[in-house]
Structure 1
Amino acid sequence: MAWRESYEIGVEEIDCQHRQLLVKLNEFFDACSNQQGREKIEETLKFLKDYTIEHFGSEEGLMNGIHFPELADHQKEHAEFVKTVLELEEQVKAKGVSVLTTIKLNRTLTDWLLNHINKCDRLIGEYMAQRKLQA
C-alpha cells in the first residue's frame, strides 16, 4: 500500500507515526507475498506492541489537550486494537505461527489503516482545523 495524502490528518507527529505503521505493514505484506509471513509475524507483533504504546499515548494526549469530544470512543478503539494484538501474540506463543494468525494480522492491519486512521483519526484533524488549534 502506498501512502496517500488522504491518510494525513494534518498533525505532523501523528502523520509521521502513521507513515511508520504503513512501512511496517508493507514489510509484512511483502513477507506474506514471498511466503515469509510466518517469519515476520513475531517481529511485526513486537513492533505493534511498542508502536501502540508510543502512538496511542501521543494521540490520546493530543485529543485530551484539545478537548476532543470523541476521546472516550477513540480510546475504546485503541484498547480493542491492543487487545487484538495481544491475543494474536498469545496465539503465536501458545500454538506457534499459523497461516490463520498471519491472515488475521494482515486483515487487522489493513482494517486499522483503512478504517481507523482514514475515518476516526481524520476527525481529530478536522476538529483542530475547524477550531484553528495547533498541536
Structure 2
Amino acid sequence: MNNILYIVWSDNNNIGIPIIDEQHRGIISTINSLHYFIQTGHGDEIIKPTMIILEQYVDIHFKTEEALMKKANYPDIKDHIVMHKKLVEKTKNLSIYASSNNDSNIILKFLKEWWLGHINKEDVKYAPFLKKLLDSKSF
C-alpha cells in the first residue's frame, strides 16, 4: 500500500479562523478516507457513500463560510459564492462519472487540487475580514 494519507494537513493550510480550519481538516479527512479505500481496493464500492458524506459536509462548510463573510462585510462574497457553486456542481458531475465508470481516482485528484487550491489561494483572501470580525467581539 502506498501512503495512507493522500493529503497531509499542514499548519500552512490554516487560515486562522478556528471553525473554518476545523471544517477544512474534516473535508481533507474525508478525501483521505476515500484515498485509503482506493488503495485497499475498495474505492469503487465506497465512492458513493463517501461522496454523499462529502457533499453534505461541504454544504455545512460553505454555509458557515458564507454566513461569516456576510457578517464581516467581505467585499468579494458574490465571487466566492460563485466558486462554491461551481465546486458543488463539478463535484457532483465527477462523482456520477466516477461511480458509473469505476474511476474513483478522477474524483480524488480533482478534490485534492481544488480544495488545497481553494484554501490556500481563495480562502486566505477573506481571512483578514473574518479575523477583524472575531477580534471585534461583535461575532
Does TM, normalized by the shorter one, top 0.5? yes
Partner of 1:55: 61
SS in 2 for 1:58: helix
1:67, CA displacement in angstroms? 0.8
SS in 1 for 2:78: helix
Structure 2 residue corresponding to 1:9, chosen from 12, 15, 23: 15
Structure 2 residue corresponding to 1:36, chosen from 28, 36, 42: 42
**Superposition misfits of 4+ residues, deviation over 4 angstroms:** none
Computed over aligned residues only, the root mean square deviation of the Cα atoms, in angstroms, reads 1.7
Q: Is the 8 A contact 2:66 2:81 kept in 1?
A: yes
SS in 1 for 2:79: helix
Query: TM-score of the superposition, structure 1-length normalised?
Result: 0.85
1:35, CA displacement in angstroms? 2.2
Q: Which has the higher contact order (CA 8 A, sep 6+)?
A: 1
Q: Deviations over 1:24-47 (max 9, x none)?
A: 111111112222211221122101
Q: Is the 8 A contact 1:9 1:122 kept in 2?
A: yes
Aligned AA (1:120): E
Unpaired segments of 5 or more residues in structure 1?
A: none
Partner of 2:75: 69
- Count of equivalent residues: 129
Q: Is the 8 A contact 2:73 2:129 kept in 1?
A: no
Aligned AA (1:105): I
Query: TM-score of the superposition, structure 2-length normalised?
Result: 0.83
